Amino acid sequence: MSALSAGGTVPRVLGSFLKARETGILIALVLIVVVATARNPSFLFSSDGYRDLLLTPSLLLLVAVGQAIVIITRNVDLSVGSVLGLTAYLTGRLFIDVPGIPSVAVFAAGILLGGVLGLINGALVAFAKVPALVITLGTLYAYRGINVMWTGSDRINASDLPADFRGLGTGQLLSVPILTILAVVVLVAAAWYLRNRRGGREFYAIGSDPAAAHLYGLKVTQRTLVAFVVSGALAGLAGVLYAARYGTVSSQAGSGWELQAIGAAVIGGVAISGGVGTLWGAAIGAFLLLTINRALPILGIEDFWQRAVVGALILGAIVLDRLLALRQSRRLLEAKDTE
């Protein structure tokens, strides 16, 4: 009986994997790596190529995971790039102004600042009942303005940061970059929570139909606040790691990251209308987005077309989400008619 059960389980699991939206994105990522490597073997088969393939998307992965959680609740957070920039500069200032400060305290400060900024976003959205797009567009400029005012013409240099902290940005463990390991740990924990815990499932319920979720008794306001706090905290963590990775931090650190994070989530199958998608998809989307940016110049494609390809991917993902939603609606209507 157990053998028969196992024999039936494997095809089901394989079928579910092949039907998953994330599988198509993963296949596209693999194909891009294969084609780019065939054109230039150093793209993958070199110490720097393999390392960059894993390391470069790691920070975007963190921001995209937080962004995906917010989008699942039918909101959006446009301020994450500014939050990243603020926390990156805070990281450098702490090491300069508080000599000998432990790196753990710096991480805590960056995550805390990001969480507070996310809480401001969430509170304005939840209590003022203003669309998140409008609120976070405002805080994007507000947080960036604070950063520019604070930074001025100054910037953080690698020499201002302790060597052990900078080592986090370049170090490896069993040939895997430390930043990638940290990003994957966060991804696994967040994905597990959304899939297996009631609070995580409520994010999807709220995004599917906020009014119905409220009538059902779900804590819509609380979950909205949590989603924005998590997004801000992960952007804060990414800001600290940004300083470790690049060493140099100016007032423009993190500019444009909000659009990349949204693009990664949408490309990875997180519906912009909320209630659909996985954090795994957003993570694969982050890797796909930055791998494309790195691979296309190797394939001899000009910068204009590089941006066009990314735009086409985002548009294609949105159209596919719409088609899938319409298909699901037709199935529900047909099932209702047959009852």
pTM of the model: 0.89
Residue 271 has a pLDDT of 85
For 172, the 3-state DSSP assignment is: strand
**For residue 45, which amino acid is it?**
F
Integer CA distances (angstroms), 258 to 55, 81, 85, in order: 19, 5, 11
308 domain-assigned: yes
How does pLDDT run along the chain (339 residues), one tens digit per residue?
455 455 566 666 665 655 667 787 888 888 888 888 888 888 888 777 888 888 989 999 999 999 999 999 999 999 999 999 999 999 999 999 999 999 999 999 999 999 999 999 999 999 988 899 999 999 999 999 999 999 888 889 988 899 999 988 888 888 889 999 999 999 999 999 999 999 899 999 999 888 888 888 888 899 999 999 999 999 999 999 999 999 889 988 989 899 899 989 988 889 888 888 899 999 999 998 888 888 888 877 777 777 787 777 777 777 776 676 667 667 656 665 565
In which domain, by residue range, is 298 found? 20-269+279-338
Residue 269 has a pLDDT of 85
Structural domain count of the chain: 1
11 domain-assigned: no
Residue 149 has a pLDDT of 93
Residue 329 has a pLDDT of 63
Q: Give the helix ranges, DSSP H, for the chain.
A: 2-19, 21-39, 47-55, 58-72, 80-97, 103-128, 132-151, 163-170, 178-196, 198-208, 210-216, 220-246, 257-267, 279-298, 303-338
Residue 7 has a pLDDT of 57
9 domain-assigned: no
Residue positions counted in the chain: 339
Residue 182 has a pLDDT of 95
Residue 328 has a pLDDT of 64
Q: Are 227 and 65 spatial neighbours (Cβ–Cβ below 8 Å)?
A: no
4 domain-assigned: no
CA distance 64 to 260: 8
Residue 119 has a pLDDT of 97
| Helices 220-246 and 103-128, axial angle in degrees (round to 10) | 140
274 domain-assigned: no
Residue 216 has a pLDDT of 85
Residue 32 has a pLDDT of 86
292 domain-assigned: yes
Residue 225, domain CATH: 1.10.3470
Q: Are 296 and 40 spatial neighbours (Cβ–Cβ below 8 Å)?
A: no
8 domain-assigned: no
Token pair in block for residue 148: 């520019």
Residue 1 has a pLDDT of 46
CA distance 241 to 153: 22
200 domain-assigned: yes
Residue 129 has a pLDDT of 86
